[in-house]
Structure formats: structure tokens, C-alpha cells
Amino acid sequence: MIQVLILLANGFEEAEALVPADLLIRAGADVRLVSLEGDGLVAGSHGFRVMPDCAVGEADVSSAQCLFLPGGKAGTERLSESEDVRRMLKTAEQNGILIAAICAAPSVLGKYGFLNGRRYTCYPGFEQAVAGGIKTDKKVELDDIFLTGEGMGVAQEFGFAMVRYLFGEQTEKELRQKTRS
């Protein structure tokens, strides 16, 4: 089964995390919410609280097919300060695992040089944190194993892009048809 790890820190953007998570679950993924905050509730940027499946120290990125970082300014700052996140990103890159980041979260990838020479997109104003990357005007951008999205307004398209990458175009097409009604 395809496993997706979604890294959550207090201040994450709820729609950016949960809309793609919903689409991935509908496609058949095993989605795991991974908390930087331990095993308690994680607070989103708008006050919604979610229960994670595990703490960051318990997650095994090498058995996943996708590592996903949602945005949200405060959550992104916490992700960028975490040595566990840096380690997980490095493992994912070394193993060719899809690394997805939306809104402010591509700045975490930029901080560690993962987007050097790569096309990406992000929320306007965060591109200065991605020195060495090639900013495009696309809403969702895929370059090799790096999938980036502009922000909350493209959370659904971003989720569909993850489904397409992980499950193929046919599954994406079928899921789009099912979610229209």
C-alpha cells in the first residue's frame, strides 16, 4: 500500500494538509499524520486541532512513498527548525520518495538546498527563501521528485497532482469524476 507521511506542526494550514489527505485516502493511500509536537493534538493556523497518528520520532520515511509538508507560516517555521524534518527530507531524497510542499513549505526545501536548480512554486513572498531554485508561475509544479504548490487555493489541484504521481493518471481521472457530484 502506498504510504504518505504528512508532517504537522502547530500553525499548519488546515486546508493545505487535509484536502490533499482526503484525496489521497480516497485514492487508496495509507495517510499518516506525523506530529512535531509529540503525541498530543496539533493546532492548525485557524484553531482546528487534529490528532496525529504518531510523533515525528516514530515515523519511518524510508517505508513511505511520499513525504508531504503543508504550509502555514508558523507551522512552516517550526518544520524548518526541526532536525528530524531535515533528516527525513534527506532520507526521502536519497530514496527517490516524492517530496511535496505547498504554500510557505517550499521554503523549508529551499533552506536545505533541495530545490537548487529545480523548478518550483510557492506562496508569493516565500521565494526569497529558495535561493538557487527556478520559480515558475504555475499553481502546481513538479520537478523530478519535488512537487510544490502555490497555496491554499490550489490545495485540491495539489492533492490531485499527488494522486497522479503516486497512483497514475487513470486513478486521478476516476477520482476527479467521483468528487464532482
Q: Letter for the amino acid at 103?
A: C
Cell of 73: 507560516
pLDDT of 181 over the 80 cut = no
List, in order, residues 6 or more apart from 163 with CB less than 8 Å away.
Answer: 23, 24, 27, 171, 172, 175
Distance CA 21, CA 44 (A): 15
Region 146-174: mean pLDDT is 98
Q: What is the pTM of this model?
A: 0.97
List, in order, residues 6 or more apart from 108 with CB less than 8 Å away.
Answer: 69, 76, 79, 80, 85, 89, 101
pLDDT of 143 over the 90 cut = yes
In a domain, 15, yes or no: yes
* 103 is a catalytic site residue: yes
Distance CA 4, CA 155 (A): 16
Q: How many helices (H) and strands (E) does the chain have?
A: 6, 11
In a domain, 67, yes or no: yes
In a domain, 146, yes or no: yes
In a domain, 83, yes or no: yes
Number of domains the chain is built from: 1
In a domain, 181, yes or no: no
pLDDT of 156 over the 70 cut = yes
In a domain, 80, yes or no: yes
pLDDT of 60 over the 60 cut = yes
Q: How high is the pLDDT of residue 97?
A: 98
Helices (H), the chain: 14-27, 73-81, 83-94, 106-111, 155-167, 169-178
When pLDDT is cut at 50, 70 and 90, the band that residue 39 belongs to is confident
**What is the domain extent for residue 11?**
3-176
Tens-digit pLDDT profile for residues 68-111 = 999 999 999 999 999 999 999 999 999 999 999 999 999 999 99
User: In which order are the strands placed within the sheet that holds 66-69?
Assistant: 54-55, 30-35, 3-8, 66-69, 98-102, 146-149, 140-143
pLDDT of 5 over the 60 cut = yes
Domain CATH number, residue 166? 3.40.50.880
Could you say which of 54, 66, 103, 122 is catalytic? 103
Phi, psi of 52 (to 5 degrees): -75, 165
